[in-house]
Every structure is written in C-alpha cells, then in structure tokens.
Amino acid sequence: MELNEVLLARRSVRKYTEEIVSDDMIAQLMHAAMSGPSACNIRPWEFHVIKDAEKLTQLRSATRYSNITAPLAIVVVGNITGLPRVLAPYWIQDCSAATENILLKATDLGLGTVWCGVYPQEQEIQNVSTILGLSDKQIPLNIIHVGHPAENPQARDQYDSSKVFIH
Ligand SMILES: Cc1cc2nc3c(=O)[nH]c(=O)nc-3n(C[C@H](O)[C@H](O)[C@H](O)COP(=O)(O)O)c2cc1C
C-alpha cells in the first residue's frame, strides 16, 4: 500500500476472525516497531508477543476497555532499568512511536489492530504486570490486539485546518 493510503486506512478494529497471525507477519511488525525514533536512541522498548490462549483471556479483563477477542496481542513495555533520571521519562514517547509503527505496518499487511491503553492507570499497569511477570522497571504502555479483521471500518481523513497554526 502507498503510505498515504495506509495512514488513512488504519482504523481501530474490535472484531477478528480466528485465523492466526503468521510468525512472518509478527516478525515484520517487530521490525517496523524497532524502526521508530527514540530519544538519544536508547530504545527502552520491549514487545511482549502474546499467543498463549490463557494469557490472552487474562489480558482481556486487565483493563476496562480491552475486552477484545483477537488471536494475538502485543504488549508494548518501557524498560527503564538503569536509565538516567533525565532520559527515563522519554520511554513513553519512544514506545508510542513504536506502537504507531506496529499499527501502520499491520494495516499495510491487511491485519487489524486496536491500541488499548494501560499506562498511566495504576491498577491496569499492575494487572498487566502480574499477568506478564514484569518488574516495577518494566511499565506496560498498552495492549495492542492484532488479527485478521472481521469488520471493516472505513478509511477516513480527519484533517482539520483549525488545528494547524503557521508561525
Ligand atoms: C492512548 C490510547 C488508548 C486507547 N485505549 C483504547 C481502549 O482501551 N480500548 C479501545 O477499544 N480503544 C482504545 N483506543 C483506540 C481509540 O478509541 C481510537 O484510536 C479512536 O477512537 C479513533 O479511532 P480510530 O483508531 O479508528 O482512528 C485507544 C487509543 C489510544 C491512542
């Protein structure tokens, strides 16, 4: 797909078929994720790829709005172990950029995704950390549900000129 087509076609998908996401597609998503920008190129990200049915079930109730049945989930985690205090807070931007790359690459591959927020909700961070066995230096940003779409939200352009300020 051409880039502009991918940008407009990326929509949140909340209904999926049971077809699994191939390992080759997962690898492509991981390459896209790690192509993102990162403050001082620290790359504090981790990508926890969840295929296990039991863990997928647990993740569905880990946050208030993540009850989505997809064959795969990717939890994007910021690992701030050993980072200088001045750099550590940038994990959020770094992991967000990586997340958007995953969403766009998935769209390009014909997959659906939805970004379900975890950070900064304390209880939801704790729920996901318990499921994945994370330390307090590994902070889950989101759960991205991934799969073959069973619904087809239309591509759309949300351009709004009132949000643009030329100085
Ligand atoms: C930080 C963040 C958190 C989100 N959390 C959820 C969520 O918990 N559950 C959900 O179904 N969608 C979630 N979304 C998806 C938004 O609802 C969605 O992006 C928005 O409605 C725009 O629709 P679109 O993605 O189809 O363009 C989240 C998106 C972002 C960026």
Q: Output the pLDDT for position 56.
A: 98
Ligand 1 lined by 119 (C-beta under 6 Å): no
* 154-167 tens-digit pLDDT: 999 999 999 999 99
Q: Tell the residue number behind the tokens 């769209």, with chain if given.
A: 107
What are 26-79's pLDDT values in tens digits? 999 999 999 999 999 999 999 999 999 999 999 999 999 999 999 999 999 999
What average pLDDT does range 138-146 have in this prediction? 98
pTM of the model: 0.98
Using a 6 Å cutoff on CB, does residue 66 contact ligand 1? Answer: yes
- The pLDDT of residue 50 is 98
In sequence order, which residues have a C-beta less than 8 Å from that of residue 129 and are 6 or more positions away? 135, 136, 138, 140
Q: Is the Cβ atom of 100 under 6 angstroms away from ligand 1? A: no
Question: What CA–CA distance (Å, rounded) separates 82 from 71?
Answer: 34
Topology classification of domain 21-151? NADH Oxidase (3.40.109)
Mean pLDDT, rounded, for 110-117: 98
Q: For 27-39, what is each residue's pLDDT tens digit?
A: 999 999 999 999 9
114 lines ligand 1 (CB under 6 A): yes
What distance in angstroms lies between residue 41's CA and the mean position of ligand 1's atoms?
A: 27
